[in-house]
Amino acid sequence: MKILVTGTAGFIGFSTALELLRRGNEVVGVDNHNDYYDIQLKEDRVAELSQFKNYQHHRIDISHDSLKEIAESFLPETIVNLAAQAGVQYSLKNPKAYVEANIMGFMNILEISKEINIKHLVYASSSSVYGANTSMPFSEDIAACHPLSIYASSKRANELMAHTFSYIHRLPSTGLRFFTVYGPWGRPDMALFKFTKSILNNDPIDVYNNGEHSRDFTYIDDIVQGIISAIDKPPLEDEGWSGKDPNPSTSFCPFKIYNIGNGSPVKLMKFIELIEKELGKKAEINFLPLQIGDVPETHADISSITRDLNYSPSTSTDLGIKKFIEWYKDYYKV
């Protein structure tokens, strides 16, 4: 299968493309290599992918017109859109970046998908779309109408835009709501990466919500398993869908939304304890109040993706942290 993957210099895009290449798919990757975090880390990810003969890389923005030329030349059967401006807190400072990358860029992806008549569009959403919802575990069957950040709003907009194209153009689309992804080659702005770096450097760590956070931490290999399972099974029309009682996760057109999480939340303080244990060092902690735009708890209901795609997360949090720290020490020569 020929697959176009966007965001291949990023954490999840890189990890997904790597597994697709290993299983023999022909992959074209695109990424703009922006400076939201360490560009060298992005360059090194792409270098890993470029060792495969079945990989081609293009350094462009997904909103650029040249993406259409690349797609028309390659003619992928599937597009996996994992490119986005990430980060809840940064969206409070620079909201326009999220409109440009996550909305305008995604519109370009949708138009290209329609014009080259792909068989399936798989795209990244986020657990952030649940926003002010406090009914746990978060279920795709419940409306996500109260986002708390522009980042969350942009990802929810992607889901709505995809539904429109699934309806008008019969474009099969699958949206994946990721829950706190971590692991080797991860993002430096995420908690595990920041905490590990600070503890090793004897710097204090900032812990918000006075340590009362709980997160459905999901290891990268489990996320990739879910993405590939979704790629292999485009959605069909839901014959039982009713406009009188509309299920937001499915539709009468070929459209589907899934949570991809671990299904078992971990208290942030427990998460920190596991990092300390693996590093053999105690953290100096600055307890701070809840940040604007953040949510105290996430918990994924993964029953839908388990039933439909045989998704089965298998990496425990302590093993996932161990694997990340092993990678971190090797990559940074600690």
Which domains occur in the chain, in start order?
2-185+217-263+298-313 (3.40.50.720)
Residue 205, pLDDT > 90, answer yes
**Residue 177, pLDDT score:** 98
* Annotation says 151 is catalytic: yes
Poorest-pLDDT segment among 27-31, 99-103, 223-227, 301-305:
99-103
Q: State mean pLDDT over 190-194.
A: 94
Residue ranges of the alpha helices (H) in the chain?
11-22, 39-49, 66-74, 88-93, 95-98, 105-115, 150-169, 191-200, 220-231, 268-279, 303-309, 317-331
Contacting residues for 193 by C-beta, under 8 A, at least 6 apart: 182, 186, 187, 324, 328
- pLDDT category at 40 given cuts 50, 70, 90 is very high
**Residue 86, pLDDT score:** 87
**Residue 12, pLDDT score:** 98
**Residue 90, pLDDT score:** 82
- pLDDT category at 5 given cuts 50, 70, 90 is very high
pLDDT for 272-326, tens place per residue?
A: 999 999 999 999 999 999 888 888 899 999 999 999 999 999 999 999 999 999 9
Residue 88, pLDDT > 90, answer no
Per-position b or e across 188-203, b if 16+ CB within 10 A of its CB: eebbbbebbebbeeee
- pLDDT category at 65 given cuts 50, 70, 90 is very high
pLDDT for 210-232, tens place per residue?
A: 989 899 999 999 999 999 999 99
**Residue 106, pLDDT score:** 98
**Residue 92, pLDDT score:** 83
Q: Tell the burial category of 101 from Cβ atoms under 10 Å away from its Cβ (0-12, 13-18, 19+).
A: buried
**Residue 298, pLDDT score:** 95
Q: How confident is the prediction for the chain on average, in pLDDT?
A: 96
Cis preceding linkage at 147, omega within 30: no
**Residue 306, pLDDT score:** 98
Residue 91, pLDDT > 90, answer no
C-beta atoms surrounding 270 within 10 Å:
13
**Residue 260, pLDDT score:** 98
Residue with more model confidence, 292 or 199 = 199
- SS3 label, residue 154: helix
**Residue 42, pLDDT score:** 98
Among residues 37, 55, 130, 151, the one annotated as catalytic is 151
**Residue 286, pLDDT score:** 93
What is the spatial distance between Cα 64 and Cα 301, in angstroms, rounded to a whole number?
36
